[in-house]
Amino acid sequence: MKTKKVELVLQPNETHWVGDGFRVHNFIPGGYHLDMERMNPFILLDYNSKYVFPPSKKPKGVGVHPHRGFETVSIAYKGKVAHHDSSGGGGVIGEGDVQWMTAASGVLHKEYHEENWSKQGGEFQMVQLWVNLPAKDKMSNPKYQPITNDMMGKVDLLDDGGLIEIVAGSYNDVQGPASTFTPIHLFNAKLNKEGKASFNFPANYNTALLVIEGSIKINENELVPTDNFALFENEGEEFTIHAQENSIVLIMSAESLNEPISAHGPFVMNTRQEIIQAFDDFNRGKFGYLED
């Protein structure tokens, strides 16, 4: 089995605000040559690194906005978010949970800090991924998958090394609960100090990780500290991570979609004409209605 090597490690860039509730570093699309194509179907990764929000009577967040052509995957590490969309999906994502929203043919969407959490304030830490859909599925019906932590597949590591939480795909033959349109692996590796885990993905899969807490060594030679992102080469299959302290690592790997990407704002399609159609459909009210 050939080792999958690190292509680059990215430090977090400057933060920007999404609405008034999400202070994010953007890794995908990011610097170097990390455009939407490079990690496709992972076409966006916004990371709200640990940030303390003061108590607020009015929940902070992002008001009503449209999406078409992809899925949003929100992973909560600290804090709580309430979400609603125009297809009737929604709920509260709490610490350790994931919300997997398939916008597909189009939804209106809003997300705010959960009301009671907002009144208390506290540490907030989240990841949002955009997962591209293949052309044949971009206009399928929207759907919503609430994935609570207790639904996730879990694999205990040897020697009290920690555990792997499986959101999508499989690890050591244990399946995650998320239903995906193409082969996707999405895990949280929660490692104790000196804990080790190995991963095996096809060489051609686009693969990366984000260190949420702690610091790790990849393949015993590449140190990746907190809030840093590591992109792997599309060669080799296997790599290891070794926790230098108690650590949480988001692992992502997926089969590439070898299809053209045409993206503008909240719409990701295959052609410019489809983007124009998306704006037209949105302006005509075809995405439904959602009160702000």
CA angle 22/26/28 to nearest 5° reads: 135
Query: What b/e sequence results for 74-113 when a residue is b if at least 16 CB atoms lie within 10 Å of its CB, and e otherwise?
Result: bbbbbbbbbbbbbbebbebbeebbbbbbbbbbbbbbbbbb
For the chain, which residues make up each domain, given as ranges? 6-254
Amino acid letter for position 164: I
Q: What is the Cα–Cα distance from 210 to 198, expressed in whole angstroms? A: 15
Closest C-alpha to 66, from 279, 239, 291, 284: 279
pLDDT of 32: 67
Backbone angles phi, psi at 35, to 5 degrees: -90, -175
Amino acid at 150: D
The topology under which CATH files domain 6-254 is: Jelly Rolls (2.60.120)
Q: From CA 7, how far away is CA 11, in angstroms rounded?
A: 14
Give how far the C-alpha of residue 64 lies from the chain's centroid of Cα atoms, to the nearest Å. Answer: 20
Spans of the chain below 70 pLDDT: 31-32
What's phi and psi for 150, nearest 5 deg? -70, -10
Its pTM stands at: 0.97
Could you write out the DSSP letters of every residue in 21-85? TEEEEEEES-STT--HHHHTTEEEEEEEEEEEEPP-SSPPEEEEEEEBSEEEEEEEEES-EEEEE
C-alpha 184: how far from its chain's center? 11
What is residue 235's three-state secondary structure? coil
pLDDT of residue 50: 97
Q: What is the pLDDT of residue 60?
A: 97
